[in-house]
Chains A and B, each alone.
Chain A
């Protein structure tokens, strides 16, 4: 079932928000096909009675009291932003209102 096409690579790159040049696309067709062909060995396993494992430990939901605790100040939270105005993160305009 493995056998990744160039169209597949373009589609998942779009989902993953990555842009690839032609050379990278060609390379990834081969690499991903190779890896997924290896992964296909999982098909040999009979898992019809096996539940999927979500977590390594049997843990139930972890709750805490809904109380406000100290957290980062606005200044600290904005410190690493590539662009901000002291109050908000800035991004290019989304809606064309002109």
Chain B
């Protein structure tokens, strides 16, 4: 049974293009057809670049025809989370305050992908300013999980995850501040990699929490994640936090055999917050890693229980500073009928920011305010040091740490909207790697009894994306998850 064009991975698309008979325009048209057929149900996209994508595809076909040598991902249509700047179309962060905003430039990753021959199908839905774990905080629409339309796709990169899972793009980019790539990837059954802090340039990424944010690929398989990383990773003079570390060919790291690799199992990640079904899935995945040749060792990350608290102090403090720029003067929404500049700032922000963004800005303002700075912000920075030190210690005993990506499978739409803290706690297994700055991936490890995807998380030391990808690839190639595709018609 041969696959439809829209079901191909990036590397299969490359082969189809190389073997001839298929053009980038055929492939792009197949995705656009799929989007018009199913996105009315899924709501993954906030803007579909119908004509622009076809025009880009035509240019790529010409580049192929002219014999230009292009990277393997050339010709594979992708989608970008709506906080990555593109000179075409709008970049709104799914916020009313940026309604109609047209970036005057392409972000670094957009430029790199376009130069490499990517076609962009459009921009994907997200929680407003990437603040959320379910996409329900989008000011534009609520996305749905392609595996079960009553469930959330996760967040904040939920639109990107849903688009990949529902074959509405070959791959997508997301951003991850506390799990915003990995949690939706786990919920939707795709691969999601958060690279090391500083591995990918953030020039043209609208900032949420600058010491944590990182852009990464969301793909149909692990090889595709390596192919995308080959293009987007690397130092950029326009982002002073991007690291001067050479970029390897990540595809060379992909091996089926894990002999010589030791994976650590952090006991704190297998305590009572992990539900039984998810526990069984992860234990099965660990058996598969052993089958592939890995050794396992129990490790401890003793400050795990403090990660969510640490994160919500640091990330909201940084967000309150970053979002201060939206004042209705240089870009974005301006409130009507104001008498002076003070009213202009206050009303533009109050009308433009949604409830969760306001909540986080207020929390961040509180923890930075006079009298509370030491008790909250400084304390959290010290706790962050302890959390990072836990990983340094643990990595003395193992090459990677494996854990569940989420404590449960995708939850129902509306389930956690009444209690912000409960929503924050869905990220307990992903937040620590952002605090420590280390790379981490979520790779699908089968369906639960309720037919929802589960995600295995693999974390490695700084800049060890090759090990992350190697283990994820070996798992994927050895496991028989029998997941199939989401039952969308």
* Interface presence of B380 (CB below 8 A): yes
- Contact A80:B102 (CB < 8 A) given known A18-B346, A35-B420: yes
From B138-146, B152-160, B220-228, B325-333, give the one contacting chain A. B325-333
* B382 in contact with A45 (CB, 8 Å): yes
Q: Determine, out of B24-32, B107-115, B185-193, B335-343, the stretch whose residues face the partner at the interface.
A: B335-343
Indicate if the CB atoms of A39 and B341 lie closer than 8 Å.
no
On whether A52 and B381 interact (CB within 8 A), knowing A4-B366, A28-B362, A32-B366, the answer reads: yes
Bound Cα distance A3, B385 (Å): 27
Contacts of B363 in A (CB 8 A): 32, 35-36
Residues A92 and B104 in contact, CB atoms below 8 Å apart? no
* Known contacts A15-B365, A62-B240; is-contact A42 B334 (Cβ 8 Å): no
Q: Specify which of A13, A54, A92 is in contact with B381 (CB 8 Å cutoff).
A: A54
Taken together as a complex, chains A and B put the C-alpha atoms of A89 and B344 apart, in Å, by 13
Q: Is the CB of A77 within 8 A of B340?
A: no
Question: Chain B contacts of A36 at CB under 8 A?
Answer: 363, 366, 376
Closest to B375 in A: A1
Q: Do B366 and A12 have beta carbons less than 8 Å apart?
A: yes
Please indicate the chain A residues that have their CB under 8 angstroms from the CB of B462 in the complex.
56-57
In the complex the two chains form, what is the Cα distance from A25 to B313 in whole Å?
20
Contact of A34 among B327, B421, B435 (CB under 8 A): B421
Residue of B with least CB distance to A61 = B240
What mask results when residues 48 to 59 of chain A are scored 1 for a CB within 8 Å of chain B, else 0?
A: 001111111101
Q: Is the pair A42, B378 in contact by a Cβ cutoff of 8 Å?
A: no
With a CB–CB cut-off of 8 A, which chain B residues contact A15? 365, 369
Mask of B424-441 contacts with A, CB within 8 angstroms, 1/0: 100000000001110000
B383 at the interface (CB under 8 A from A): yes
Binds A, one of B121-129, B304-312, B465-473: B304-312
CB distance from B305 to the nearest CB of A (A): 8
By size class, the interface of chain A is 35 or more
CA A12 to CA B171, docked complex, whole Å:
41
Using known A-B contacts A28-B359, A41-B309, A42-B310, determine if residue A18 contacts B382 with beta carbons closer than 8 Å.
no
Tell me whether A26 is interfacial, beta carbon within 8 Å.
no
For the complex formed, measure the closest distance between the CB of B179 and the CB atoms of chain A, giving whole angstroms: 15
Docked CA distance A10–B349 (Å): 15
Interface size class of B (residues with CB under 8 A): 35 or more
Which one of A17, A50, A83 contacts B334 once the chains associate, using CB atoms below 8 Å? A83
Kindly state whether residue A68 has any CB partner on chain B within 8 Å: no
Shortest distance from the beta carbon of A45 to any chain B beta carbon, whole Å = 6
* Contact A42-B240, Cβ < 8 Å, known A12-B369, A82-B328: no
Q: In the complex, how many angstroms separate the beta carbon of B83 from the nearest chain A beta carbon?
A: 16
The one of A41, A52, A57, A81 in contact with B329, judged by C-beta atoms closer than 8 angstroms, is: A81
Contact A80 B332 (CB under 8 A): yes
Instruction: Provide the residues of chain B in CB contact with A79, threshold 8 Å.
Output: 102, 104
Any A CB within 8 A of the CB of B290: no
Q: Chain B 362-400 against A: per-residue CB contact (8 Å), 1 yes, 0 no?
A: 110110010000011011111111101000000000000
Residues of B within 8 A of A28 (CB): 359, 362
The reply to whether A18 and B350 form a contact with Cβ atoms under 8 Å apart is yes
Assuming the contacts A28-B359, A82-B334, A91-B329, asked whether A51 and B385 have C-beta atoms less than 8 A apart, the reply is: yes
Least CB separation from A77: chain B residue: B104
Least Cβ–Cβ distance between B234 and chain A, in angstroms: 15
Q: A19-B350, A52-B378, A62-B240 are in contact. Are A31 and B334 (CB under 8 A)?
A: no
Residues on A with beta carbons closer than 8 Å to the beta carbon of B334: 82-83
CA distance A83 to B348 in the complex (A): 13
User: In the docked arrangement, what's the CA distance between A54 and B240, Å?
Assistant: 15
Tell me if B365 and A12 are in contact (CB < 8 A): yes
Interface residues of B (CB under 8 A from A): 101-102, 104-105, 196-198, 211-212, 237, 240-241, 243, 303, 305-306, 308-310, 312-313, 320, 324, 327-334, 338-347, 349-350, 353, 358-359, 361-363, 365-366, 369, 375-376, 378-386, 388, 419-421, 424, 435-437, 462
- Can you show 6 pairs from A to B with CB atoms below 8 A apart? A18-B362, A28-B362, A32-B359, A54-B381, A57-B241, A81-B331
The list of the 3 closest CB pairs from A to B, nearest first, reads: A56-B437, A52-B381, A82-B334
